[in-house]
Amino acid sequence: MEHDSQTVPYVLALLPAPPSPAVRQLKDAYDRALSRVFADVSSQIRGTSNIAKIDIALVIPQLLSAQYQPRSKAFASLQHLLATFYTFVGTVSASDNVELDGPGGVDVRVFFVDDQDCSEVQQQRLHGPVTNLKTLAISQRAWDRAYVLDTISGERLASRFSEYGASVSYSKLPGGIASISPEGVLVAEEGRSTKHYSVIVGGTFDHLHLGHKLLLTATALALDPFNNEGNRSLTVGITGDEMLVNKKFAEYLESWEDRWQNTASFLKAIVDFNPPENQVSSIQRTENPGPNGKRVSIKVVPDLYIHLVQIADPYGPTITEENLSALIVSAETRSGGQAVNTERNKKGWASLEVFEVDVLQTGEAEEVASASASSFESKISSTDIRQRRMKSAKGHL
């Protein structure tokens, strides 16, 4: 494979609100559009080891309004939409034979944008994965171009984006069925009322893929944007290398160093929309004896820290740091949330509020894609990714 020094494509797809969070409706709305974006960027990196970056901004009107605050009220709806959208991304990549997050492939990052002028948030600092159109426009991200749908709503989005200060050229995409209202996509859970400023998630995060991106984005979604009393923190427990020696194709596991760096890079991409002159990123490494002593702390914005912690047991910082208030789990690991709270309660600590994230749906993907379920599954399996890396390495010996 060539190691090309050409400029790596970096584009934005600015998409109007989906008509429904169902995969089939997402396909109807965006299938031709996303296929076109994939085709455009893939043609520029074919035969190279480069990975193109695609920011996908999904517009959800009124998302920053008071009715969806605190974030916990909208969490269930947003994570479900995110899960179905990433499932849709996987189906398109499988059908179009586009590599995800690997050499010659594309790195897709999805976040949400409110395109309405909400007076109650205009004076606040806005950080992802929920931001507004103006903040995105003045972020000065180095996109080669912005893609918008060739529809009335797409043209309006492009016009407002430029009015807010975006300096980018536009390409039009074939349009599908879109929505002008978040109804049916976004439902406020009135039973959720707690604000969270210290959230945690755990995992291996080897060869970051769509499932990891869903889990990490959902973790950031659970974090409330404004805390007048102090800093906010997003903690990611990342399994240490010594716990992974029995994994299949273990020799192709990424090191803990690589895994925390890739995790942090993804989180910054969906959280930090500051223009370059306002970015404040700083990194502090800590290695103390005892549980959870090895960590990297990154100051992303003035009041937000991302902590990447090496963990050596299923609990990680959840039972060593009392100030955490929310734990994000997948539907496959919900029992872990119960176990964590049992251990915290033994210490006399408050339980963590547990937020559950959907898993990417192979069945739904197979229904709407021309590719097989196994092709889709290979996109969201770290084991399959390691196996492909092994075959690729042996093929180039």
pLDDT per residue over 262-272, tens digit each?
A: 999 999 999 99
Mean pLDDT to the nearest integer, 341-353: 97
For residue 29, the surrounding DSSP H or E stretch is: helix 23-45
Kindly give, in sequence order, each residue whose CB lies less than 8 Å from that of residue 28, ignoring residues fewer than 6 positions away: 19, 176, 177
Q: How deeply is 291 buried, as exposed, middle or buried, from its count of CB atoms within 10 A (0-12, 13-18, 19+)?
A: middle
- Of residues 81 and 332, more confidence is placed in 81
Q: What is the CATH number of domain 10-357?
A: 3.40.50.620
Sign of CA dihedral 80, 152, 10, 33: positive
- Alpha carbon distances (Å) from 344 to 31, 36, 315, 318, 319: 45, 49, 10, 8, 6
Query: Kind of pairing, strands 294-301 and 304-311?
Result: antiparallel
Q: Please, what is the Cα angle at 128 between 122 and 132, to 5 degrees?
A: 35
Mean pLDDT to the nearest integer, 180-186: 67
Nearest to 68 by CA among 234, 153, 192: 192
Reply yes or no on whether the pLDDT at 118 is more than 70: no
Q: How confident is the model at residue 360 (pLDDT cuts 50, 70, 90)?
A: confident
How many helices (H) and strands (E) would you count in the chain? 10, 13
DSSP-derived letter for residue 184 is T
**pTM to 2 decimals?**
0.91
- Of residues 369 and 132, more confidence is placed in 132
Cα separation, 107 vs 52, in Å, equals: 6
Reply yes or no on whether the pLDDT at 246 is more than 80: no
DSSP E strand stretches across 314-395: 326-330, 353-357
Minimum mean pLDDT among 100-114, 245-259, 308-322: which range? 245-259
Q: What is the pLDDT of residue 395?
A: 58
